[in-house]
Amino acid sequence: MNRFLHAIDQLSKTVGHAFAWCILILTFGTCYEVFMRYVLNNPTSWAFDMSYVMYGALFYMAGAYTLSRGGHIRGDVFYRLWRPRIQATVELVLYIIFFFPGVIALVVAGWAYGLDAAHLKEVSVNSPAGVPVWHLKLLIPFGAALLAVQGVAEVMRCMMCLRDGRWPQRLHDVEEMESILQARRAEEKEAKGR
């Protein structure tokens, strides 16, 4: 079961890391626009569209990766105080009632929306450059489908937690700086206590 969960996590990680390059493109494009606009007084006609296309692609395609790392926003005020089995029960109910209906609706509606945009070869109406946006709209159902697949893995994690009384391990590739600092402080306290 863990191998299956880790395979789904790895798929989400691979797609998330691939689309993370959008951040670099977005940064360079924005810096170029700032230079052109404020130094050379010659703004581009495509920078605004490029920025929301890159950010949109990143947002659509990194959602599953964020879910696989437990990085989505959660009301931890009460949640973190609960035992793992209660956490798993609440999450399982919320996935069934809210997550899957919303994600499935996004796949279905996004597919029709993306296909319409692709057939029309839709371009941005916000820019005189007419930057194509149909490819961004086609990412909606694919991002939602990846989110649904990752949601299946999360439901399986909930069931494993209900069975075992503890959360199964996740793949880790990035650590929060705060977690690293807390671990170092704990090690230093332990070393001083010896």
Per-residue pLDDT of the chain (194 residues; tens, 9 = 90+): 788 888 998 999 999 999 999 899 999 999 999 999 999 999 988 888 888 889 999 989 999 999 998 878 777 788 888 999 999 999 999 999 999 999 999 999 999 999 999 999 998 887 777 888 899 999 999 999 999 999 999 999 999 999 999 988 887 776 667 777 787 888 888 888 76
Structure-token match 């807390």, residue found: 182
Q: Are 158 and 91 contacting, i.e. CB atoms less than 8 angstroms apart? A: yes
Global pTM reads: 0.81
**110-127: burial string, b at 16+ Cβ within 10 Å, e else:** bbeebeebeeeebebeeb
| Number of CB atoms found within 10 A of residue 160's CB | 17
Query: At 17, is the secondary structure helix, strand, or coil?
Result: helix
Buried b / exposed e over 3-14, threshold 16 CB at 10 Å, is eebbebbebbbe
